[in-house]
Structure formats: structure tokens, C-alpha cells
């Protein structure tokens, strides 16, 4: 009676609750003045990201040799370059270049992108393995993948403590290493019963690391900015998340499909699929490991800088606040 499409209806009541809660809790505010919309910037960045996603998604379905893939990716590069120069000259830029050039913003979002894209891709990979190789039903596959997700709660609980001890960027690098090691366990996937155990172990470790990568990348990418730029920084983290979810599966699935096709002539159908899955897992783990190196090199072991304090506010003791009158 019900199909998987009905699951999307859960968004409707949740969205209504958020809307009502927002109107009740958040006080009404008005902007100090009107600003002109950066229409050229909005058009170029939206078009560039759409072309990028469409190009990579097409490659996942039709292969990287497809001419339209190169065309769409070329359009994406041109539009995103145009966006950069538009923002440099715009009096009211959609995304000020000074914010985009901050190391914490750029490389923090990169770390989050790597974590989310590869977590999405590994969920697809394990789903393909359990249904195509082990012959599990969709329901059983969902239960197996869902069980390790419990450890995301543990990872989310530990994350704040690690942030306070070693800093957000170090936690982000550590989380990428943990995910890489966890997902690498899937390189030993086989067509026997032990494969389920390997999936549970790999996802438990990987999802644990993924949980505190989300916390650390959000903190890294939004720290040290003045209040008026917090909205932009948060928007960039959301954009990175959505692009990662969109791109992770097409890229890894293209690797799996290419390797499977190459093995079909010399191996059994099951071995060909396993070979493709091993290739996808290897790319996944290596990309996370390389991302760890990049995040560590460009961010290093840095504690998140404190939020800027207004000049007219002075803290006294542990809780008292004295508001100083401006001079003159």
C-alpha cells in the first residue's frame, strides 16, 4: 500500500512545527537599512553549482567519457570564476571574498564536504553490497545500516569535550582519519556471512567519526567571524553539506561501475561486483585520508578563536556584565 515515496511526507509536519516555533520564539527584528540584492552573484553561483552537480551526476550514470559531462563541468568552472570576480567588485556582495578567503571558512567547509560526501557514498556502497551480493531485502539492509547509526549519538556527545581539549580543526582531522580507517575495513568484503559483520564494524567506526566531524567542521567554519557574518558562514556550511550529499554517490558509483564493467569479462558476476565495490571503498578511504592531510596542513592544531567582543561591553568576574557608555 505504501511505498518509499511516502517517507518524504515526514518533512511536511516537521517544517510546519519549525515555522510555528520560529514565529513564537524568535523576536521580530528589522534591518537597519535596505541593501541591493546581488543578482549577478546569485545567478552565477547558482548556475555554477547546478552545472557542477548535473555534470557529475551525468558522469555517474553515463560515464566520464560522455561529451556532455565535459560541457557541463566547463560551464560550472566558468560561472564560478565569474562569480568570484563579481563578488570582488560588487558593492553589496552575496558572499564577500574576504570571508571566502579565510582559512577556517574555506578549509573547514572542505573537511565537512569530504566527511559528508564519503559517508553518503559508503551508505550507497554497503546497500549495493548487501542487496546485490548477499541478496538481502531492502528492509533488512536498512536495519543493518541503521544499527551502527546509534554510535552517532556517542560521537556527538564526545565531540564537545574533544573540541575543548585539542581544538576544532584537530578534531576535524582526527574524525577524517577515523572514518578512513573504518571504511577501509570494507576492503575485505566477500560473499560469505562474515560480510555482515564487516559492514557493522566499518559503519560503526565510520559513523562514530562522522558524527563529531559534523560538529567540528561547523565550529571551524563559523568561528572567529563578527556577528553580522555568522549568517553567511552558516549558509556556506549548509551549502557544503547539500553539495556533498549530491556529489558523493555519483562519483563513487562511477568508480564502482567502471571497475565492475572491467572485470565482467574475466570474473563471475558476483566477483565483478565485489571488485567494483572494493575499488569504490578504496577511493573513499584514500580521499578521506588525503583530506586529513589537507585539513591538517592548512588549519593545523588551532583552537577555535573566540567570538569578537563589542567595544561597549566589558565582562566583570564570572557573570556580571557592565555596559560602558560610548565616549562623547
Report pLDDT digits (tens) over 240-274.
898 898 889 888 988 898 889 889 888 888 889 99
The half-sphere exposure of 51 on its side-chain side, counting CA atoms within 13 A, is 18
| Whether residue 153 sits in one domain with residue 46 | no
Counting the structural domains of the chain, the total is 2
Kindly report the CATH number assigned to the domain that includes residue 210. Answer: 1.20.1250.20
The answer to whether residue 245 sits within a structural domain is yes
Q: Any idea which of 16-30, 100-114, 155-169, 296-310 has the lowest mean pLDDT?
A: 296-310
Distances (CA, A) of 88 to 38, 92, 227: 12, 10, 22
Q: Are residues 43 and 125 in the same domain?
A: no
To which residue does cell 578567503 refer?
101
- Tell me what pLDDT residue 311 has: 44
159 and 42, same structural domain? no
Q: Do 208 and 224 sit in the same domain of this protein?
A: yes
> What phi, psi does 322 have (nearest 5°)?
-115, 125
Asked whether residue 9 is domain-assigned, the answer is no
Mean pLDDT of 17-44: 79
| Model confidence pLDDT, tens digit, residues 113-149 | 999 999 999 999 999 999 989 988 888 888 888 888 7
pLDDT at 109 over 60: yes
The pTM of the full predicted model, rounded to 2 decimals, is 0.79
**Residue 183 to residue 121: CA distance in whole angstroms:** 11
Q: What is the mean pLDDT of the chain?
A: 83
Look at residue 260 and give its three-state secondary structure. helix
How buried is 182 (Cβ within 10 angstroms: 0-12 exposed, 13-18 middle, 19+ buried)? Answer: buried
Does residue 169 sit within a domain?
A: yes
The yes-or-no verdict on residue 36 having pLDDT over 80 is no
Same domain flag for 237 and 149: yes
Instruction: Measure the CA–CA gap between 36 and 296, rounded to whole angstroms.
Output: 39
Residues in the chain: 328
> pLDDT above 90 covers what percent of the chain?
32
Q: Can you tell me whether residue 323 is helix, strand or coil? A: strand
Question: 54, 78, 94 — which closes off a domain?
Answer: 94
Query: b vs e for 294-315, b when ≥16 Cβ sit within 10 Å of the residue's Cβ?
Result: ebbeebeebebeeeeeeeeeee
The whole domain housing 79 covers 37-94
The verdict on 212 and 197 lying in the same domain is yes
Mind giving me the DSSP string for 268-283? -HHHHHHHHHHHHHHH
Distances (CA, A) of 80 to 42, 47, 68, 269: 11, 8, 18, 42
Is 256 domain-assigned?
yes
pLDDT computed for residue 274 by the predictor: 93
Is the model's pLDDT at 304 over the cut of 70? Answer: no
pLDDT tens for 284-296 read: 999 999 999 999 9
Domain-located, residue 197: yes
Residues 256 and 120 reside in one and the same domain: yes
Q: Which residues contact 204 (CB under 8 A, 6 or more apart)?
A: 148, 151, 182
- Domain presence at residue 311: no
Same domain, 122 and 267: yes
225 with 84, same domain: the answer is: no
Q: Which of 77, 94, 111 is the last residue before a domain boundary? A: 94
Residues 78 and 185 in one domain: no
Residue 210 in any domain: the answer is yes
Verify that 219 and 137 share a domain, yes or no.
yes
Q: Is residue 24 part of a domain?
A: no
105 and 85 share one domain:
no
Amino acid at each position: 500500500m505504501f511505498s518509499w515515496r511516502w517517507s518524504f511526507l515526514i518533512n511536511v509536519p516537521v517544517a510546519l512545527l519549525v515555522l510555528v516555533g520560529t514565529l513564537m520564539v524568535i523576536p521580530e527584528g528589522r534591518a537597519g537599512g535596505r541593501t541591493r540584492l546581488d543578482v549577478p552573484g546569485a545567478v552565477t553561483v547558482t548556475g555554477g553549482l547546478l552545472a557542477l552537480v548535473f555534470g557529475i551526476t551525468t558522469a555517474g550514470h553515463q560515464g566520464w567519457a560522455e561529451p556532455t559531462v565535459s560541457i557541463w563541468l566547463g560551464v560550472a568552472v566558468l560561472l564560478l570564476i565569474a562569480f568570484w570576480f563579481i563578488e570582488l567588485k560588487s558593492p553589496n556582495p552575496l558572499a564577500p571574498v574576504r570571508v571566502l578567503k579565510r582559512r577556517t571558512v574555506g578549509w573547514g567547509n572542505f573537511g565537512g564536504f569530504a566527511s559528508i560526501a564519503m559517508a553518503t557514498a559508503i551508505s550507497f556502497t554497503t546497500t549495493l553490497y548487501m542487496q546485490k551480493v548477499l541478496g538481502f531485502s531492502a528492509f533488512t539492509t536498512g536495519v543493518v545500516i541503521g544499527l551502527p547509526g546509534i554510535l552517532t549519538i556517542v560521537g556527538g556527545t564526545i565531540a564537545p569535550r574533544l573540541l575543548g581539549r585539542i581544538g576544532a580543526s584537530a578534531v576535524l582531522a582526527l574524525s577524517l582519519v577515523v572514518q578512513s580507517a573504518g571504511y577501509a575495513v570494507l576492503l575485505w568484503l566477500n560473499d560469505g556471512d562474515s560480510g555482515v559483520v564487516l559492514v557493522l564494524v566499518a559503519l560503526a567506526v565510520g559513523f562514530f567519526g562522522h558524527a563529531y566531524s559534523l560538529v567540528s567542521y561547523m565550529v571551524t567554519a563559523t568561528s572567529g567571524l563578527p556577528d553580522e557574518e555568522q549568517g553567511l558562514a552558516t549558509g556556506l556550511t549548509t551549502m557544503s553539506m547539500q553539495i556533498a550529499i549530491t556529489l558523493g554517490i555519483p562519483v563513487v558509483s562511477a568508480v564502482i561501475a567502471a571497475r565492475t564493467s572491467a572485470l565482467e569479462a574475466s570474473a563471475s558476476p558476483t566477483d565483478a561486483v565485489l571488485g567494483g565495490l572494493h575499488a569504490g571503498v578504496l577511493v573513499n578511504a584514500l580521499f578521506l585520508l588525503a583530506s586529513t592531510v589537507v585539513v591538517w596542513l592548512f588549519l593545523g592544531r588551532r583552537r577555535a578563536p573566540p567570538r569578537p567582543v563589542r567595544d561597549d561591553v566589558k565582562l566583570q568576574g564570572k557573570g556580571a556584565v557592565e555596559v560602558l557608555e560610548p565616549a562623547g
